[in-house]
Amino acid sequence: MKVSDEKLNRFISKHMLDYRLRHSLSQEGMAEQLNIAPRCYLEQENGRCGFSGQTVCHFIAVLSDKEAFAFISDLRSVWDEDKPST
């Protein structure tokens, strides 16, 4: 079963917000880390638009190895939740 875009966007948004708050970044600072416009980041963080693959790649690149592993592991769990039980 395909993970819904909305569910995936909520997952990414939550992780980006958590990262931003843990690292005491403003929304503008986070946008700079992701190489996107602040307005674009605000829209994404608030769930009003989706994330490009490029933005997600920039996000993974700013994470520490431990944070990146946790992000990817958590992302896989989102897919596992939607798999039909056998």
| Mean pLDDT on 7-17 | 92
Is the distance from CB of 12 to CB of 74 less than 8 angstroms? no
Q: What is the pLDDT of residue 13?
A: 94
Q: Is the backbone of residue 66 left (phi > 0), alpha (psi -120 to 50) or beta?
A: alpha
How many helices (H) and strands (E) in the chain?
5, 0
Domain CATH for 17: 1.10.260.40
Q: Give 79's contacts (C-beta < 8 A, 6+ positions apart).
A: 3
pLDDT over threshold 70, residue 86? no
Q: Domain span at residue 50?
A: 5-78
**Do the domain assignments include residue 85?**
no
- 16-47 pLDDT tens trace: 999 999 999 999 999 999 999 999 999 999 88
How many domains does the chain fold into? 1
Q: What is the pLDDT of residue 81?
A: 72
**Could you say which DSSP state residue 83 is in?**
S
Q: What is the pLDDT of residue 3?
A: 62
Task: Kindly report whether the global pTM for this prediction surpasses the value 0.75.
Answer: yes
Cβ neighbour number for residue 21 with a 10 Å cutoff: 10
Is the distance from CB of 9 to CB of 55 less than 8 angstroms? no
- 48-65 pLDDT tens trace: 888 999 999 999 999 999
